[in-house]
Amino acid sequence: MLNLDQAALLHRHGDDWRELREVRHASSEDDDLERRLQRGERLFRCTECELEILAVPPGSR
Ligand SMILES: [Zn+2]
């Protein structure tokens, strides 16, 4: 498991930085994402736009 608990992930919206929030549960139709979360991958999604970041532990791709 990647330890990102101490870090805020931000990305840039023009002059602003917006926080990426962790998504802990996939929507019911997203089986691929659900499998990834069960493997310990972690998804972060921007609160303002559609940007998503997937954090993948070493050796699991
Ligand atoms: Zn964004």
Q: Could you give the 3-state DSSP secondary structure of residue 25?
A: coil
Rounded to the nearest 5 degrees, what angle is found at the Cα of 1, between the Cα atoms of 22 and 55? 50
From ligand 1's centre to the CA of 44, what distance in Å? 11
In a domain, 32, yes or no: yes
Total domain count, the chain: 1
**Domain for residue 60, yes or no?**
no
Distance 50 CA to ligand 1 centre (A): 6
17 assigned to some structural domain: yes
C-alpha 23 to ligand 1 mean position (Å): 14
Residue 61 lies in a domain: no
CA of 21 from ligand 1 middle (Å) equals 11
- Return the pLDDT at 6: 79
Residues 19-51: tens digit of each pLDDT:
999 999 988 999 999 999 999 999 999 988 999
| Entry pTM | 0.79
What whole-number distance in Å separates Cα of residue 60 and Cα of residue 9? 22
Q: What domain range includes position 17? A: 9-55
C-alpha distance across the termini of the chain, in Å: 13
Enter the tokens of residue 6.
């101490």
Strand partners, 9: 20
Cα(18) to ligand 1 centroid in Å equals 6
